[in-house]
């Protein structure tokens, strides 16, 4: 092959590239001018109408108002359409610019940034790692780098995460536990670790000794109230008796309904703890988990039977985790989207009331149920307490789903939820399921 041919080839390639860029720039200009025209047209129509108002004639005034309202709706619809068109064309622009960048040999940003939208800096960069293991001390991990655990959806919320990671190292952390929890609920879980101290409650006193702690409401000075609408425990207790809907509304009132939960078996949706434990040889149910366990009354009852229950709970406008800890029980702050942090075939029992329900997207629920199956030991119990759904969903969606997981049914009670009347077709399912021995 001649030297000339070899020189020619890159030049021809360069020319092709330039003409490609030129044609893309033309498209770009077209897109921009189309949108400018579009903005002009729409702003013209929305300005042309100015209502005449007759204050002396209320009928006419009403009609004018009505007309104005209709014009307003029309304008809103036009604006929404405009907005949609603009975002469509801006994503087109973005694609074009990316293409142009590629023609110039730029790397796409996501390649360099490992899925982050912008370059990481400061504490966030430190927390995300990776950390290189010291030479020569490398344990048998199959890697020379460690990556801290961090939920991959965190990459979607980089602005929030950067705010979360802005603090003074070694000083007090910002009071942002609700902000942090919201990130967790959006899937940014686990969150990155931080190097600051959470705000301390002022006037903290030693906790109530066990076992009195199980049924004692702790002093208000035991926690920081910043994040909650209630600023003391009597407010939380009274909230349960008032109108309004809150998560686990009457759970802070330890002398109310909490006092009798799970003590009596009504042969229907309400199972009793002792009849559930009675399905197994005495003493063989020892450790377990209550998913979304509110203020951990289930764990308290089990503790009285020498059974250790970890209670997972989110702080939905209430200091659930702190309250559980005050009772001398173990709280765990994880959402139902999280892989449960227990090893396979380990727990004797898992309980969950009112949390696993039809608000959870089906596939997410199926993964959660499989996770429960995974961590139960053979013969372990899954007590699904008051699973809520609509009547038609029960037989079409959920019964087949439970059958797919592979549990054995020890007890199965479905019944209408009657507090809002029979026409709502709302159902509860309570079930005692067992992981097969083999």
Ligand X SMILES: *[C@@H]1O[C@H](CO)[C@@H](O)[C@H](O)[C@H]1NC(C)=O
Strand-pair partners of 427: 389, 416
* Residue 379, phi-psi category: left (phi > 0), alpha (psi -120 to 50), beta (remainder): left
Distance CA 311, CA 299 (A): 7
Q: How many residues bind ligand X (CB under 6 A)?
A: 15
Q: Tell me which DSSP letter residue 155 carries.
A: G
Nearer to ligand X by Cβ, of 334 and 394: the residue is: 394
The contact mask relative to ligand X for 17-56 (x = CB under 6 A, - = no) is ----------------------------------------
Closest separation in Å from C-beta 264 to ligand X: 18
Phi/psi-derived region of residue 163, left when phi > 0, alpha when psi is between -120 and 50, beta in every other case: alpha
Residues 309, 300: Cα–Cα separation, whole Å: 8
Task: Tell me whether residue 399 or residue 405 sits nearer to ligand X (CB atom).
Answer: 399
Contacts (CB under 6 A) with ligand X, residues 371-410? 391, 394-395
The least CB distance from residue 274 to ligand X, in Å, is 10
Q: Determine how many CB atoms are found less than 10 A away from the CB of residue 117.
A: 13
Q: At closest approach, how far in Å is the CB of 394 from ligand X?
A: 5
Q: Is 385 helix (H, G, I), strand (E, B) or coil?
A: strand
Least separation in angstroms between CB 185 and ligand X? 25
Nearer to ligand X, 340 or 431 (CB): 431
CA triple 80-84-89, angle to 5 deg: 150
Q: What is the nearest approach in angstroms of ligand X to the Cβ of residue 121?
A: 40
Q: Name the residue nearer to ligand X (CB basis): 251 or 429.
A: 429
Nearer to ligand X among residue 160 and residue 247 (C-beta)? 247
At its nearest, how many Å lie between ligand X and the CB of residue 160? Answer: 28
**DSSP-based three-state secondary structure for 135:** coil
Asked if 300 interacts with ligand X (CB under 6 A), we say no
CA distance 274 to 276: 5
Please report, as residue ranges, which positions from 67 to 106 form the binding site for ligand X (by CB under 6 A). 70
- Measured from the CB atom, the residue of 18 and 395 that comes closer to ligand X is 395
Interatomic CA distance for residues 334 and 292, integer angstroms: 9
Dihedral sign from CA coordinates of 263, 265, 270, 271:
positive
Q: How far is the CB of 353 from ligand X (least distance, A)?
A: 20
Q: Which is nearer to ligand X, 124 or 230 (CB)?
A: 230
CB of 321 to ligand X, least distance (A): 20
Return d(Cα 359, Cα 384) in angstroms, integer: 15
Could you tell me if 224 and 178 are in contact, meaning their C-beta atoms sit under 8 angstroms apart?
no
Q: How far is the CB of 233 from ligand X (least distance, A)?
A: 8
* Residue nearer to ligand X on the CB measure, 143 or 234: 234
- Sign of the alpha-carbon torsion through 401, 183, 291, 389: negative
Q: Are 326 and 346 in contact (CB under 8 A)?
A: no
Neighbouring-strand partners of residue 345: none
Question: For the CA atoms of 428, 432, 437, 438, what is the dihedral angle to 10 degrees?
Answer: -10
CA 124, 127, 130, 135 dihedral sign is positive
**Cβ closer to ligand X: 312 or 315?**
315
Give least dist CB 406 to ligand X, A: 20
Give the per-residue contact string, 171-210, with ligand X (x = CB under 6 A; - = no). ----------------------------------------
- 131/210 with CB nearer ligand X: 210
DSSP calls for 41-59: HHHHHHHS------TT-HH
Smallest distance from ligand X to CB 17, Å: 58
Q: Are 53 and 61 in contact (CB under 8 A)?
A: yes
In this chain, which of 66, 98, 143, 279 binds ligand X, going by CB under 6 A? Answer: 66
Pairing of strands 376-390, 426-434: antiparallel
Does position 418 bind ligand X by CB under 6 A?
no
Interface mask (CB under 6 A) for ligand X, residues 214-253, using x and -?
----------------xxx-xx------------------
Residues 6 or more apart in contact with residue 410 via CB below 8 angstroms: 279, 381, 432, 433, 434
- Among 18, 63, 98, 143, the residue binding ligand X under the rule CB under 6 A is 63
> Which CB atom, from 7 or from 274, has the smaller least distance to ligand X?
274
- Residue 329 in contact with residue 296, Cβ under 8 Å? yes
Q: Which of 2, 137, 306, 423 binds ligand X (CB under 6 A)?
A: 306
Asked whether position 62 contacts ligand X by CB under 6 A, the answer is yes
- From 182, 286, 305, 370, residue interacting with ligand X (rule: CB under 6 A): 305
Residues that bind ligand X (CB under 6 A): 62-63, 66, 70, 230-232, 234-235, 305-306, 391, 394-395, 427
């Amino acid at each position: 092959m001649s030297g000339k041919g070899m020189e020619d080839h890159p030049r021809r390639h360069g020319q092709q590239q330039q003409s490609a860029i030129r044609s893309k720039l033309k498209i770009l200009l077209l897109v921009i001018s189309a949108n400018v025209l579009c903005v002009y047209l729409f702003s013209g129509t929305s300005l042309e109408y100015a209502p005449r108002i007759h204050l002396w004639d209320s009928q006419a005034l009403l009609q004018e108002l009505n007309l104005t309202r209709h014009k307003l709706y029309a304008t809103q619809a036009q604006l929404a359409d405009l907005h949609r068109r603009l975002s469509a064309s801006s994503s087109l622009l973005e694609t074009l610019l990316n293409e142009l960048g590629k023609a110039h040999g730029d790397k796409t940003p996501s390649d360099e940034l490992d899925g982050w939208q912008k370059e990481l800096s400061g504490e966030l960069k430190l927390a995300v790692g990776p950390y290189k293991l010291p030479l020569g001390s490398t344990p048998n991990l199959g890697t020379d780098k460690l990556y801290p655990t961090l939920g991959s959806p965190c990459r979607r919320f980089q602005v929030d995460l950067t705010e979360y990671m802005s603090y003074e190292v070694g000083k007090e952390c910002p009071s942002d536990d609700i902000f942090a929890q919201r990130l967790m609920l959006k899937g940014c879980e686990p969150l990155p670790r931080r190097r600051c101290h959470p705000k301390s409650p002022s006037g903290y006193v030693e906790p109530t000794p066990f076992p009195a702690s199980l049924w004692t409401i702790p002093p208000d000075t035991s926690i920081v109230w910043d994040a909650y609408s209630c600023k003391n425990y009597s407010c939380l207790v009274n909230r349960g008796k008032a109108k309004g809907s809150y998560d686990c509304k009457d759970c802070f009132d330890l002398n109310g309904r909490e006092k009798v939960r799970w003590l009596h078996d009504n042969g229907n949706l309400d199972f009793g703890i002792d009849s559930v434990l009675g399905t197994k040889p005495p003493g063989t149910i020892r450790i377990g988990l209550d998913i979304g366990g509110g203020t951990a009354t289930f764990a308290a009852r089990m503790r009285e039977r020498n059974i250790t229950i970890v209670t997972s709970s989110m702080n939905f406008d209430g200091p659930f985790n702190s309250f559980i800890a005050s009772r001398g029980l173990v709280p765990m702050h994880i959402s139902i989207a999280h892989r449960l942090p227990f090893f396979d075939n380990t727990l004797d029992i898992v309980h969950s009331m009112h949390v696993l329900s039809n608000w959870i997207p089906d596939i997410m629920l199926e993964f959660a149920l499989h996770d429960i199956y995974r961590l139960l030991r053979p013969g372990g119990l899954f007590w699904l307490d008051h699973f809520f759904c609509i009547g038609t969903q029960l037989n079409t969606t959920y019964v087949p789903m439970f059958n797919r997981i592979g549990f054995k049914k020890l007890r199965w009670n479905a019944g209408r939820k009657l507090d809002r009347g029979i026409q709502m077709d709302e159902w509860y399912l309570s079930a005692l399921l067992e992981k097969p021995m083999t």
